[in-house]
Amino acid sequence: MADGKENTGEPETPDSKILNQEEIDSLLGYGESLEDASLQKNGVQAILNSNMVSYERLPMLEIVFDRLIRLMATSLRNFTQDNVEVSLDSIESMRFGEYIDSLTLPTLLSVFKAEEWDNYSLMSLDSSLIYSMVDVLLGGRRGTAAMRIEGRPYTTIELNIVKEIIQIILSDLSTAFDPVTSVNFIFDRLETNPRFATITRMSNAVIVAHLRIDMEDRGGRIDLMIPYATLEPVRELLLQMFMGERFGRDTIWENHLMSQLWETDVDIHAVLKETQAHLSDVSSWQKGSFLPLDMSPQDQVTVLCGDVPLFKGAMGRRDDHVVIRIEGKAEKNG
Protein backbone atom coordinates (compact mmCIF):
# COMPACT_ATOMS: atom_id res chain seq x y z
CA MET A 1 0.00 0.00 0.00
CA ALA A 2 1.07 3.55 -0.59
CA ASP A 3 0.61 4.44 3.09
CA GLY A 4 2.98 1.70 4.16
CA LYS A 5 5.77 2.87 1.87
CA GLU A 6 5.79 6.36 3.37
CA ASN A 7 7.09 5.06 6.74
CA THR A 8 9.71 2.59 5.49
CA GLY A 9 12.67 4.97 5.94
CA GLU A 10 12.96 6.02 2.29
CA PRO A 11 15.00 9.21 1.62
CA GLU A 12 13.14 12.47 2.03
CA THR A 13 11.95 14.29 -1.02
CA PRO A 14 13.43 17.74 -1.84
CA ASP A 15 10.15 19.39 -0.83
CA SER A 16 10.56 18.18 2.77
CA LYS A 17 13.71 20.35 3.16
CA ILE A 18 11.93 23.61 2.30
CA LEU A 19 11.41 25.92 5.31
CA ASN A 20 7.97 27.25 6.00
CA GLN A 21 7.28 30.93 6.76
CA GLU A 22 7.35 30.44 10.54
CA GLU A 23 10.80 28.83 10.40
CA ILE A 24 12.11 31.62 8.13
CA ASP A 25 10.82 34.30 10.54
CA SER A 26 12.43 32.50 13.47
CA LEU A 27 15.75 32.29 11.63
CA LEU A 28 15.73 35.98 10.76
CA GLY A 29 14.56 37.05 14.22
CA TYR A 30 11.16 38.41 13.14
CA GLY A 31 7.61 37.49 13.87
CA GLU A 32 8.00 37.68 17.67
CA SER A 33 5.00 38.16 19.87
CA LEU A 34 4.50 41.25 21.99
CA GLU A 35 5.37 39.29 25.13
CA ASP A 36 8.76 38.40 23.66
CA ALA A 37 9.50 41.85 22.24
CA SER A 38 11.56 42.81 25.27
CA LEU A 39 13.67 39.64 25.01
CA GLN A 40 16.88 39.45 23.01
CA LYS A 41 16.28 38.73 19.34
CA ASN A 42 17.60 35.57 17.81
CA GLY A 43 18.86 34.47 14.41
CA VAL A 44 20.33 36.93 11.92
CA GLN A 45 18.87 39.89 13.84
CA ALA A 46 20.90 38.93 16.92
CA ILE A 47 24.06 38.68 14.81
CA LEU A 48 23.47 42.15 13.35
CA ASN A 49 23.02 43.65 16.83
CA SER A 50 25.78 41.68 18.53
CA ASN A 51 28.35 44.44 18.02
CA MET A 52 26.21 47.10 19.71
CA VAL A 53 27.75 48.65 22.81
CA SER A 54 25.52 49.09 25.85
CA TYR A 55 25.52 52.50 27.50
CA GLU A 56 25.95 50.71 30.84
CA ARG A 57 29.62 50.31 29.91
CA LEU A 58 29.87 54.08 30.45
CA PRO A 59 28.44 54.37 33.98
CA MET A 60 29.53 57.97 34.46
CA LEU A 61 27.29 59.02 31.55
CA GLU A 62 24.17 58.13 33.53
CA ILE A 63 25.37 60.42 36.35
CA VAL A 64 25.86 63.19 33.79
CA PHE A 65 22.28 62.82 32.53
CA ASP A 66 21.00 62.72 36.11
CA ARG A 67 22.72 66.06 36.78
CA LEU A 68 21.32 67.38 33.50
CA ILE A 69 17.65 66.85 34.41
CA ARG A 70 18.12 68.67 37.74
CA LEU A 71 19.84 71.60 36.01
CA MET A 72 17.22 71.70 33.24
CA ALA A 73 14.35 71.77 35.73
CA THR A 74 15.77 74.88 37.40
CA SER A 75 16.72 76.62 34.15
CA LEU A 76 13.37 76.01 32.42
CA ARG A 77 11.46 77.16 35.50
CA ASN A 78 13.34 80.44 35.40
CA PHE A 79 12.82 80.70 31.64
CA THR A 80 9.07 79.97 31.58
CA GLN A 81 8.14 81.28 35.05
CA ASP A 82 6.08 78.11 35.36
CA ASN A 83 6.27 74.83 37.24
CA VAL A 84 8.43 72.59 35.02
CA GLU A 85 9.23 68.97 35.77
CA VAL A 86 11.99 67.17 33.85
CA SER A 87 12.39 63.40 33.98
CA LEU A 88 14.68 60.90 32.32
CA ASP A 89 12.56 58.15 30.76
CA SER A 90 15.33 55.90 29.47
CA ILE A 91 18.80 55.66 28.00
CA GLU A 92 19.35 53.20 25.20
CA SER A 93 21.87 52.25 22.56
CA MET A 94 20.92 51.85 18.93
CA ARG A 95 22.12 52.53 15.43
CA PHE A 96 21.82 56.02 14.00
CA GLY A 97 19.62 54.76 11.18
CA GLU A 98 17.22 53.14 13.65
CA TYR A 99 16.95 56.37 15.62
CA ILE A 100 16.20 58.45 12.51
CA ASP A 101 13.53 55.95 11.45
CA SER A 102 11.93 56.06 14.91
CA LEU A 103 11.39 59.85 14.84
CA THR A 104 7.79 60.99 14.70
CA LEU A 105 7.32 63.81 12.22
CA PRO A 106 6.94 66.73 12.44
CA THR A 107 9.85 67.33 14.78
CA LEU A 108 12.66 69.86 15.07
CA LEU A 109 16.23 68.54 14.98
CA SER A 110 19.02 70.61 16.44
CA VAL A 111 22.60 69.80 15.45
CA PHE A 112 25.14 70.89 18.07
CA LYS A 113 28.90 70.53 18.32
CA ALA A 114 31.22 69.64 21.17
CA GLU A 115 34.11 72.04 20.57
CA GLU A 116 36.75 70.19 22.60
CA TRP A 117 35.80 66.82 21.08
CA ASP A 118 35.43 68.22 17.53
CA ASN A 119 32.32 66.20 16.78
CA TYR A 120 28.55 66.59 16.53
CA SER A 121 25.45 65.39 18.35
CA LEU A 122 21.72 65.73 17.83
CA MET A 123 18.76 66.98 19.86
CA SER A 124 15.16 66.46 18.78
CA LEU A 125 12.11 68.30 20.13
CA ASP A 126 8.65 67.01 19.33
CA SER A 127 5.87 69.29 18.16
CA SER A 128 3.80 69.02 21.37
CA LEU A 129 6.71 70.42 23.42
CA ILE A 130 7.27 73.26 20.96
CA TYR A 131 3.62 74.38 20.95
CA SER A 132 3.40 73.94 24.73
CA MET A 133 6.40 76.23 25.21
CA VAL A 134 4.89 78.80 22.85
CA ASP A 135 1.61 78.67 24.80
CA VAL A 136 3.35 79.10 28.15
CA LEU A 137 5.61 81.94 27.03
CA LEU A 138 2.94 83.84 25.08
CA GLY A 139 0.18 83.58 27.71
CA GLY A 140 -1.86 80.62 26.51
CA ARG A 141 -4.71 79.38 28.66
CA ARG A 142 -4.14 76.65 31.19
CA GLY A 143 -6.04 73.40 30.96
CA THR A 144 -6.21 73.45 27.17
CA ALA A 145 -4.08 71.22 24.99
CA ALA A 146 -1.63 72.89 22.65
CA MET A 147 -3.19 73.27 19.22
CA ARG A 148 -1.22 72.33 16.16
CA ILE A 149 -2.26 73.21 12.64
CA GLU A 150 -1.50 70.39 10.24
CA GLY A 151 0.77 71.22 7.32
CA ARG A 152 1.84 74.62 8.64
CA PRO A 153 5.60 75.20 8.94
CA TYR A 154 7.02 76.60 12.15
CA THR A 155 6.89 80.39 12.35
CA THR A 156 9.86 82.65 13.02
CA ILE A 157 8.64 83.31 16.58
CA GLU A 158 8.37 79.58 17.27
CA LEU A 159 11.83 78.91 15.86
CA ASN A 160 13.37 81.71 17.92
CA ILE A 161 11.74 80.34 21.09
CA VAL A 162 13.05 76.86 20.27
CA LYS A 163 16.57 78.22 19.76
CA GLU A 164 16.43 79.88 23.18
CA ILE A 165 15.37 76.59 24.77
CA ILE A 166 18.13 74.70 22.96
CA GLN A 167 20.74 77.21 24.14
CA ILE A 168 19.56 76.71 27.73
CA ILE A 169 19.72 72.92 27.44
CA LEU A 170 23.18 72.99 25.83
CA SER A 171 24.47 75.26 28.59
CA ASP A 172 23.10 72.85 31.21
CA LEU A 173 24.61 69.89 29.36
CA SER A 174 28.03 71.55 29.43
CA THR A 175 27.63 72.17 33.17
CA ALA A 176 26.55 68.56 33.72
CA PHE A 177 29.79 67.33 32.13
CA ASP A 178 31.98 69.67 34.23
CA PRO A 179 32.74 67.16 37.04
CA VAL A 180 33.92 64.67 34.41
CA THR A 181 35.57 66.92 31.83
CA SER A 182 35.35 70.47 30.55
CA VAL A 183 33.40 70.67 27.28
CA ASN A 184 31.46 73.42 25.54
CA PHE A 185 28.41 72.50 23.44
CA ILE A 186 27.49 75.10 20.81
CA PHE A 187 24.38 75.32 18.62
CA ASP A 188 25.10 74.63 14.95
CA ARG A 189 21.84 74.54 12.99
CA LEU A 190 18.15 73.66 13.09
CA GLU A 191 16.59 71.14 10.69
CA THR A 192 13.07 69.87 10.07
CA ASN A 193 14.08 67.10 7.66
CA PRO A 194 15.96 64.18 9.26
CA ARG A 195 17.94 63.62 6.05
CA PHE A 196 19.61 67.02 6.50
CA ALA A 197 20.52 66.20 10.10
CA THR A 198 22.69 63.20 9.26
CA ILE A 199 25.83 63.65 11.36
CA THR A 200 27.18 60.09 11.24
CA ARG A 201 26.80 56.88 9.27
CA MET A 202 23.50 55.06 9.52
CA SER A 203 25.17 51.94 10.92
CA ASN A 204 27.14 53.74 13.64
CA ALA A 205 26.25 53.19 17.29
CA VAL A 206 24.69 56.06 19.23
CA ILE A 207 23.36 56.71 22.74
CA VAL A 208 19.88 58.18 23.02
CA ALA A 209 18.56 59.76 26.23
CA HIS A 210 14.77 60.24 26.25
CA LEU A 211 13.74 63.22 28.39
CA ARG A 212 10.20 64.17 29.36
CA ILE A 213 9.21 67.77 30.17
CA ASP A 214 5.91 68.38 31.96
CA MET A 215 4.36 71.80 32.67
CA GLU A 216 1.26 70.77 34.62
CA ASP A 217 -1.19 69.82 31.84
CA ARG A 218 1.23 70.45 28.96
CA GLY A 219 4.61 69.13 27.89
CA GLY A 220 6.51 67.01 25.43
CA ARG A 221 9.65 65.01 24.81
CA ILE A 222 13.29 65.81 24.07
CA ASP A 223 15.79 63.26 22.77
CA LEU A 224 19.53 63.72 23.16
CA MET A 225 21.41 61.59 20.64
CA ILE A 226 25.19 61.35 21.10
CA PRO A 227 27.26 59.08 18.81
CA TYR A 228 29.84 56.87 20.48
CA ALA A 229 32.44 58.46 18.19
CA THR A 230 31.70 61.83 19.82
CA LEU A 231 32.32 60.38 23.30
CA GLU A 232 35.51 58.57 22.29
CA PRO A 233 37.90 61.35 23.52
CA VAL A 234 36.47 61.02 27.06
CA ARG A 235 35.67 57.33 27.00
CA GLU A 236 38.14 56.50 29.79
CA LEU A 237 36.60 59.17 32.02
CA LEU A 238 33.09 57.86 31.38
CA LEU A 239 34.21 54.32 32.28
CA GLN A 240 34.70 55.42 35.91
CA MET A 241 32.40 53.77 38.42
CA PHE A 242 32.38 56.90 40.60
CA MET A 243 33.45 60.52 40.35
CA GLY A 244 37.21 61.03 40.68
CA GLU A 245 38.24 57.41 40.15
CA ARG A 246 41.93 57.24 39.22
CA PHE A 247 42.22 53.73 37.70
CA GLY A 248 44.70 52.36 40.26
CA ARG A 249 46.52 55.61 41.06
CA ASP A 250 46.71 56.43 44.76
CA THR A 251 47.19 60.15 45.34
CA ILE A 252 47.96 59.70 49.05
CA TRP A 253 50.73 57.22 48.29
CA GLU A 254 52.16 59.49 45.56
CA ASN A 255 52.35 62.46 47.94
CA HIS A 256 53.92 60.34 50.69
CA LEU A 257 56.53 58.96 48.30
CA MET A 258 57.37 62.45 47.06
CA SER A 259 57.85 63.78 50.61
CA GLN A 260 60.09 60.86 51.55
CA LEU A 261 62.24 61.28 48.43
CA TRP A 262 63.21 64.78 49.53
CA GLU A 263 64.55 63.35 52.81
CA THR A 264 66.50 60.50 51.21
CA ASP A 265 70.30 60.43 51.65
CA VAL A 266 72.37 59.72 48.54
CA ASP A 267 76.12 59.18 48.19
CA ILE A 268 77.90 61.38 45.65
CA HIS A 269 81.51 61.51 44.64
CA ALA A 270 83.66 63.92 42.65
CA VAL A 271 85.81 62.79 39.72
CA LEU A 272 88.80 65.01 38.99
CA LYS A 273 89.85 63.37 35.75
CA GLU A 274 89.39 60.16 33.84
CA THR A 275 92.02 58.67 31.55
CA GLN A 276 92.55 55.46 29.66
CA ALA A 277 95.57 53.19 30.00
CA HIS A 278 96.67 49.91 28.44
CA LEU A 279 96.46 46.83 30.58
CA SER A 280 100.17 46.23 30.05
CA ASP A 281 100.93 49.65 31.55
CA VAL A 282 98.64 49.02 34.52
CA SER A 283 100.32 45.67 35.22
CA SER A 284 103.72 47.40 35.36
CA TRP A 285 102.64 49.91 38.00
CA GLN A 286 104.41 49.64 41.35
CA LYS A 287 104.29 51.49 44.61
CA GLY A 288 105.42 55.04 43.93
CA SER A 289 104.51 55.06 40.21
CA PHE A 290 103.10 58.30 38.85
CA LEU A 291 99.93 58.54 36.71
CA PRO A 292 99.79 61.75 34.66
CA LEU A 293 96.25 63.21 34.57
CA ASP A 294 96.96 65.98 32.07
CA MET A 295 94.65 68.55 33.70
CA SER A 296 94.91 72.19 34.68
CA PRO A 297 93.47 74.11 37.65
CA GLN A 298 90.80 75.55 35.33
CA ASP A 299 89.39 72.12 34.40
CA GLN A 300 85.96 71.32 35.82
CA VAL A 301 85.22 68.49 38.23
CA THR A 302 82.28 66.14 37.63
CA VAL A 303 79.97 65.21 40.53
CA LEU A 304 78.36 61.77 40.15
CA CYS A 305 75.75 59.71 41.99
CA GLY A 306 76.66 56.15 41.19
CA ASP A 307 77.27 56.16 37.45
CA VAL A 308 74.98 59.10 36.75
CA PRO A 309 76.71 62.51 36.23
CA LEU A 310 74.87 65.29 38.09
CA PHE A 311 76.85 68.53 38.11
CA LYS A 312 79.97 70.26 36.83
CA GLY A 313 81.97 72.56 39.10
CA ALA A 314 85.30 74.11 40.01
CA MET A 315 87.38 72.68 42.85
CA GLY A 316 88.74 74.95 45.58
CA ARG A 317 89.29 75.31 49.31
CA ARG A 318 87.17 76.83 52.05
CA ASP A 319 88.60 76.85 55.57
CA ASP A 320 90.02 73.37 56.07
CA HIS A 321 87.79 71.70 53.50
CA VAL A 322 88.16 70.92 49.83
CA VAL A 323 84.99 72.21 48.13
CA ILE A 324 83.40 72.18 44.70
CA ARG A 325 81.47 75.21 43.43
CA ILE A 326 78.54 74.00 41.27
CA GLU A 327 78.52 75.77 37.91
CA GLY A 328 75.92 73.77 35.99
CA LYS A 329 74.39 70.42 35.24
CA ALA A 330 76.52 67.69 33.76
CA GLU A 331 75.69 66.11 30.42
CA LYS A 332 74.48 62.53 30.73
CA ASN A 333 76.31 59.90 28.76
CA GLY A 334 74.40 58.33 25.86
Could you write out the three-class secondary structure of 243-296?
Answer: CCCCCCCCHHHHHHHHHHHCCCCCCCEEECCCCCCCHHHHHCCCCCCCCCCCCC
Range of the domain at 139: 55-238
Residue 318 maps to a domain: yes
Asked whether residue 223 falls in the same domain as residue 301, the answer is no
- Tell me which residue of 301, 315, 310, 313 sits closest to 273, measured CA to CA: 301
Angle between the N-to-C axes of helices 59-80 and 156-177, in degrees from 0 to 180, rounded to the nearest 10:
140
Q: Is 212 in contact with 219 (CB distance < 8 Å)?
A: yes
Q: How many Å apart are CA 48 and CA 207, to the nearest integer?
A: 17
Q: Is 88 in contact with 67 (CB distance < 8 Å)?
A: no
Q: What is the pLDDT of residues 114-152, one digit of tens each?
A: 888 888 888 888 888 888 888 888 876 665 555 555 557
Indicate left, alpha or beta for 2 from its phi (over 0: left) and psi (-120 to 50: alpha). alpha
Asked whether residue 232 falls in the same domain as residue 324, the answer is no
Q: What is the pLDDT of residues 233-251, one digit of tens each?
A: 888 777 776 655 554 556 7
Residue 199 maps to a domain: yes
Q: What are phi and psi of 139, to 5 degrees?
A: 85, 35
Q: How many Å apart are CA 133 and CA 128, to the nearest integer?
A: 9
Q: Is 236 in contact with 58 (CB distance < 8 Å)?
A: no
Asked whether residue 204 falls in the same domain as residue 301, the answer is no
Q: Is 211 in contact with 88 (CB distance < 8 Å)?
A: yes
Residue 31 maps to a domain: no
- Alpha carbon separation from 67 to 62, 71, 176, 221 (Å, rounded): 9, 6, 6, 18
Q: Is 170 in contact with 187 (CB distance < 8 Å)?
A: yes
Q: How many Å apart are CA 254 and CA 249, to the nearest integer?
A: 8
**Domain termination residue (choose one: 212, 238, 264):** 238
Residue 197 maps to a domain: yes
Number of domains in the chain: 2
Residue 66 maps to a domain: yes
Residue 30 maps to a domain: no
Q: Is 309 in contact with 293 (CB distance < 8 Å)?
A: no
Q: Is 314 in contact with 296 (CB distance < 8 Å)?
A: no
Asked whether residue 219 falls in the same domain as residue 325, the answer is no
Rg (CA), the chain: 37
Q: Is 58 in contact with 239 (CB distance < 8 Å)?
A: yes
Whether the full predicted model's pTM is greater than 0.85, yes or no, is no
Asked whether residue 169 falls in the same domain as residue 301, the answer is no
Residue 202 maps to a domain: yes
Q: How many Å apart are CA 104 and CA 280, to the nearest integer?
A: 95
Q: How many Å apart are CA 324 and CA 306, to the nearest integer?
A: 18
Give the bridge partners for 206, in sequence order: 94, 227
**Domain termination residue (choose one: 220, 238, 256):** 238
Q: How many Å apart are CA 300 and CA 295, to the nearest integer?
A: 9
Query: How many Cα neighbours within 13 Å face the side chain of 146?
Result: 23
Asked whether residue 205 falls in the same domain as residue 114, the answer is yes
Residue 325 maps to a domain: yes
Q: What is the pLDDT along the chain (334 residues), one digit of tens a residue?
A: 444 444 555 555 555 567 777 777 666 655 554 344 444 455 555 555 555 555 547 778 888 888 888 998 898 888 888 888 888 888 888 888 888 888 877 788 888 888 888 888 888 888 888 888 888 888 766 655 555 555 577 788 888 888 998 999 999 898 888 888 888 888 888 888 888 888 888 888 888 888 888 887 778 888 899 888 888 888 877 777 665 555 455 678 888 888 888 888 888 888 877 778 888 888 888 888 887 777 777 778 888 888 888 888 888 888 888 888 888 787 776 5
Give the bridge partners for 187, in sequence order: 112
